[in-house]
Amino acid sequence: MALPAGRGAQLARDMDEFLRAAQQAIPRAFESEEYDRRRRAIIDRLNQERERLWEGVQQFAQQLGFTVELTPAGVISLPLVQGRPLAPEEYERLPPPVREELERRNQRIQDRVADALREVRRLERETAERLRQLDREVALFAVGGLFEELRERYQDLPQVLAFMEQVREDIPEHLHDFFPPQLPGVPAPIAQLQALQQQEHLARYRVNVFVDNSQTRGAPVIFERNPSYYNLVGRIDDRATFGAMVTDFSQIRAGALHRANGGFLVVHVLDLLANPFAWDALKRALITRQVVIENLGQQYAVLPTATLRPDPIPLDVKVVLVGSPFLYYFLAAYDDDFRELFRVRADFAPDMDWNDQHVMGYAAFISRVVREQGLRHFDRSAVARVIEYGA
């Protein structure tokens, strides 16, 4: 998201505070008596329907002279003789016509059992959905006031409101991340790992302030003194977690092109050419008018690994290259894109005559810098000493 200067940092702070409040509000809401009552009512209804279906199966089996029993292997039906289940050896001694009739009755019972089991599964799915809706309702009510405060604060930024709506819809799907882990008897390293994983899951609701212009006045002007590939286009950092290298969106770092976006980037061309891949990366960004953050290891790895692929960021920047006339003519002669990308050339004289006009101009420059930097004013001797030193 591109936000007005300073609003991104404020949004990051607000989301951190929101998460702290939500981690308290959501567990408290699920500990209420009202929630327990509604949850028990839903589960009791399922149990009553199960009992009703099971009683129906038992009555149907009794009408056909059978009894049904629940076993670890499933539901079995047994024929009854004088009110007791028929033993296997007794069943084998029955005349074939009687056994055939019992088998037909048993098949009817098994069909009825299958119908009942299908109905139970349907009721269980329906109950699970009702419980999920109950949890969603309780969770959204718990954080409703928190979201309302954020909406009022950012009502002038539609993209932020859309982001908050996505967070609001996502929270009910990951409620377990908001509850403190219950780990009685678990070894300390495993408990630490699970607690860390929970915080990493919650981090998806935080805001990574990519570029903070809260202290910038007007268009940004960035002087990049070490224009390496990563310092120009940014990078994706990794962090070590229990012996493994992991990353997420919070590890995406901005480069000079991002910080100068909408303004000016000043680079010494000799430093740029001395850094591998930097010149081509700068040209690619200027030609495509977008910055793609991609670590070099992903570009040249024999077997690329799964990693983040941030969306390209639109680029609107003026790049000023500082260098000698030799470097200008060298690039103009040997780089086909140079003249197209850098059309304006400004020459500065390496020296000037010592005369009253230039001395007065130098003194005026010193006075302006003193005012802008809030320094103590120079007297005549101090100005003269600075001019002598600069000469």
Write the pLDDT tens digit of every residue in 339-387: 999 988 888 877 788 888 888 988 999 999 999 888 888 998 999 999 8
Domain tally for the chain? 3
Residues recorded for the chain: 391
Note the pLDDT of residue 127: 95
Regarding whether 258 and 172 lie in a shared domain, the answer is no
User: Does residue 1 fall inside a structural domain?
Assistant: no
Note the pLDDT of residue 242: 63
Closest CA to 22 of 132, 141, 137, 131: 141
CA distances from 148 to 18, 89, 142 (A): 11, 74, 11
Regarding whether 359 and 294 lie in a shared domain, the answer is no
Regarding whether 83 and 19 lie in a shared domain, the answer is yes
Place of tokens 């891949």: 277
Q: Is residue 227 within 8 Å of 278, Cβ to Cβ? A: yes
Kindly state the tokens that stand for 169. 């819809």
Compute the Cα dihedral for 197, 199, 203, 209 and give only its sign. Answer: negative
Regarding whether 142 and 56 lie in a shared domain, the answer is yes
Say which residue, 243 or 331, is predicted with more confidence: 331
State pLDDT tens for residues 301-330. 666 666 778 889 999 999 999 998 899 999
Regarding whether 380 and 289 lie in a shared domain, the answer is no
Return phi, psi of residue 350, to 5°.
-75, -15
Regarding whether 127 and 25 lie in a shared domain, the answer is yes
State pLDDT tens for residues 63-112. 888 888 887 777 888 888 777 887 777 777 888 888 888 889 889 988 99
Regarding whether 114 and 87 lie in a shared domain, the answer is yes
Regarding whether 343 and 380 lie in a shared domain, the answer is no
Closest CA to 338 of 260, 257, 255, 269: 269
Note the pLDDT of residue 18: 93
Q: Is residue 263 within 8 Å of 221, Cβ to Cβ? A: yes
Regarding whether 221 and 102 lie in a shared domain, the answer is no
Regarding whether 243 and 199 lie in a shared domain, the answer is no
Pairing between strand 264-268 and 318-322?
parallel
Regarding whether 80 and 150 lie in a shared domain, the answer is yes
CATH number of the domain enclosing 256 = 3.40.50.300
Going by pLDDT thresholds of 50, 70 and 90, the confidence category of residue 249 is confident
What value does the CA radius of gyration of the chain take, rounded to a whole number of Å?
37
Full domain range(s) for residue 116: 7-179+189-204
> How far from each other are the two terminal CA atoms of the chain, in whole angstroms?
49
User: Does residue 141 fall inside a structural domain?
Assistant: yes
Regarding whether 39 and 175 lie in a shared domain, the answer is yes
